[in-house]
Amino acid sequence: MKPHAEHVPQGTKTPPILLASESPRRRLLLEAMGFEFKVQSPVTDELDASAVTVDDIVVENALRKARSLRDHAATDTTIIIGADTLVLCDGQVLAKPTDKADARTMLSRLSGKRHDVLTGVAVVSRKHGQQTSLTKSGVYFRKLPAEEIERYIATKEPYDKSGAYAIQGLGAIFIDHIEGSYTNVVGLPVEQLLRDIQRLVGVSVFEWFGK
């Protein structure tokens, strides 16, 4: 897919940014910060989950996504952002549910428990090199009645979401509380991303938005 430009507030001076993801949630988070960026699908094989730890998986996959577009960057200073998110409960990775029964099983497993959301982030530039990070958030679900699970599944929201819920959507009703970054649970920890970009280019992000 060809990259496409996003709406950008007037007066910003951000460097060229390429988001290696078509996730609408990640796009919305970048837009909310006022970044100018383009979007392009990464072309890469993801890491074999049996080979390393979950922490390593998300960081390596994020890096592979960002690196896969390095030759597609318009300039040497273009910052390419890659991200990979996993949901982990009781030591088991919960991917996107394959059907209604799978979604029901996942939500029943999350009911009344804590689970962890892990996101690896990679920022890559031909000029500046690369920077990676790992962010973890603990998410606590209240106890979910079976009827409520069924009603949520009927909305079809769970089917393209890791862990079978969307915290930025109707799935928010399940949350008791969160420990850590909310935006990480959405799919892109913007707090950490901003720090990673600053470390990569050696410039305060505030300079990009000053008058």
pLDDT tens-digit map of 69-83:
999 899 999 999 999
Report pLDDT digits (tens) over 120-143.
Answer: 999 999 999 999 999 999 999 999
Q: Match domain 4-208 to its CATH number in 3.30.365.10, 3.40.50.720, 3.30.360.10, 3.90.950.10.
A: 3.90.950.10
Label residue 35 left, alpha or beta by phi (over 0 means left) and psi (-120 to 50 means alpha). beta
Q: Which residues are catalytic?
A: 84
Domain ranges of the chain: 4-208
Give the Å distances, CA to CA, from 15 to 34, 35, 101: 12, 9, 45
Mean pLDDT score across all residues of the chain? 90
Check residue 2 and give its pLDDT: 37
Is 64 strand, coil or helix?
helix
Contacts of 168 (CB under 8 A, 6+ apart): 25, 186
Range ranked top by mean pLDDT from 14-28, 134-148, 197-211:
134-148
Label residue 164 left, alpha or beta by phi (over 0 means left) and psi (-120 to 50 means alpha). left
**C-alpha span between 205 and 190 (Å, rounded):** 12
- DSSP-derived letter for residue 7 is -
In the numeric block, the tokens 């007037």 are attached to 10
Rounded average pLDDT over 100-112 = 97
Instruction: Kindly give the residue spans of alpha helices, DSSP state H, lying in the chain.
Output: 24-32, 54-68, 100-110, 146-154, 182-186, 190-201
Q: Which two structure tokens, joined as six digits, stand for 139?
A: 């998410």
Q: Which residue has the higher pLDDT, 52 or 102?
A: 102
Give the Å distances, CA to CA, from 183 to 65, 101, 125: 20, 28, 24
Check residue 7 and give its pLDDT: 38
Q: Which two structure tokens, joined as six digits, stand for 65?
A: 């996504």
